[in-house]
């Protein structure tokens, strides 16, 4: 499928979980800037060292660091792809326009109180980045990834205080992108609340209707 999709939504709206599933089913390449940055931090690369402080504080990493990452990834892809966590502001959206023709933006809509609960109870796999929720999607064995057996951990930016800052940054910098894609006629708003499977079905229906 020649889909070039941007997945928008607040932190904790379920982008990562839904993105993985959608890419598996539709054969799209998943590019998650958050995952790429966390990997850089884990490997202590020069990018990781520069990005860590911003991430831990719930701020956006400076554009010049993220844009290089995306350019390199997107240019290497021949078929469809889905971007999770990029673009995060208007400057990044403009840059994206110079390297790809985005044909769909999916905006996941979730109430703020639900978001905080989701993030505080979120656990992620150190090895494969699979995401769990202690109640809605618990791992079969405590602390272990179902998929690869890797160790589960709580992201350093998943504390309640940092989540509030990430939500503030989201509203100020990222939310305006929904209007940008709406004006182009390629935005679909999807209710991101409820069971993971139900949300997934809504997204899949929206993608199939639009593409
Ligand atoms: P995420 O996994 O998408 O929630 O991203 C985690 C953190 O990585 C964010 O709070 C930012 O600090 C950083 N980050 C991820 N994507 C971007 C981006 N496109 N631009 C700037 N910072 C980003």
- In tens, the pLDDT along 180-208 reads 999 999 999 999 999 999 999 999 999 99
In a domain, 52, yes or no: no
72 confidence band (pLDDT: 50, 70, 90): confident
Asked whether residue 48 carries a pLDDT value surpassing 70, the answer given is yes
Question: Residue 193 is part of which domain span?
Answer: 4-28+79-210
Pocket perturbation via mutation, ligand 1, pick of 37, 94, 174 by most ligand atoms within 8 A of CB: 37
Q: From edge to edge, which strands make up the β-sheet containing 131-133?
A: 131-133, 122-125, 152-153
Q: CA-based angle 61:48:22, to the nearest 5?
A: 70
Structural domain tally of the chain? 1
In a domain, 53, yes or no: no
Q: Verify whether ligand 1 is closer than 6 Å to residue 85 (CB atom).
A: yes
Q: Residues 84-102: what's their mean pLDDT?
A: 97
In a domain, 39, yes or no: no
Q: Is the omega angle on the peptide bond into residue 87 within 30 degrees of 0, that is, cis?
A: yes
In a domain, 43, yes or no: no
In a domain, 142, yes or no: yes
Ligand 1 centroid distance, CA of 84 (Å): 9
Give the rounded percent of residues in the chain with a pLDDT score beyond 70.
100
In a domain, 37, yes or no: no
Task: Provide the whole-model pTM.
Answer: 0.93
In a domain, 68, yes or no: no
The residue among 39, 25, 23 whose CA lies nearest residue 125 is 39
CATH code, domain carrying 89: 3.40.50.300
**What positions carry a catalytic annotation?**
15, 88, 122, 155, 166
Q: Residues 71-79: what's their mean pLDDT?
A: 88
- In tens, the pLDDT along 19-47 reads 999 999 999 999 999 999 999 999 999 99
In a domain, 45, yes or no: no
Q: In this predicted structure, what is the pLDDT of residue 169?
A: 97
Asked whether residue 76 carries a pLDDT value surpassing 90, the answer given is no
Task: Match 């956006």 to its residue by tokens.
Answer: 60
Asked whether residue 177 carries a pLDDT value surpassing 80, the answer given is yes
155: left (phi over 0), alpha (psi -120 to 50) or beta: beta
Asked whether residue 1 carries a pLDDT value surpassing 80, the answer given is no
- In tens, the pLDDT along 129-154 reads 999 999 999 999 999 999 999 999 99
- Residue 181 CA from chain centroid, whole number: 17
- Cα distance between residue 29 and residue 35, in whole Å: 14
Residue 141 is classified by DSSP as S
Task: Match 């350019």 to its residue by tokens.
Answer: 71
């Amino acid at each position: 499928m020649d889909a070039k999709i941007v997945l928008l939504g607040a932190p904790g709206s379920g982008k990562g979980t839904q993105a993985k599933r959608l890419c598996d089913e539709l054969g799209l390449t998943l590019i998650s800037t958050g995952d790429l940055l966390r990997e850089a931090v884990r490997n202590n690369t020069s990018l990781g060292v520069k990005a860590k402080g911003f991430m831990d504080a719930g701020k956006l990493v400076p554009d010049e660091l993220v844009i290089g990452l995306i350019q390199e990834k997107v240019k290497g892809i021949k078929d469809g792809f889905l971007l999770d966590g990029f673009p995060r502001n208007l400057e990044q959206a403009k840059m994206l326009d110079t390297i790809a023709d985005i044909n769909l933006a999916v905006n996941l809509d979730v109430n703020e109180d639900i978001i905080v609960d989701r993030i505080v109870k979120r656990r992620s796999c150190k090895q494969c980045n699979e995401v769990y929720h202690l109640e809605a999607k618990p791992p079969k064995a405590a602390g272990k990834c179902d998929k690869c057996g890797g160790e589960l951990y709580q992201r350093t930016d998943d504390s309640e205080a940092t989540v509030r800052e990430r939500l503030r940054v989201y509203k100020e910098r990222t939310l305006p992108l929904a209007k940008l894609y709406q004006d182009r006629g390629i935005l679909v708003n999807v209710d991101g609340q409820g069971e993971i499977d139900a949300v997934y079905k809504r997204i899949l229906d929206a993608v199939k209707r639009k593409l």
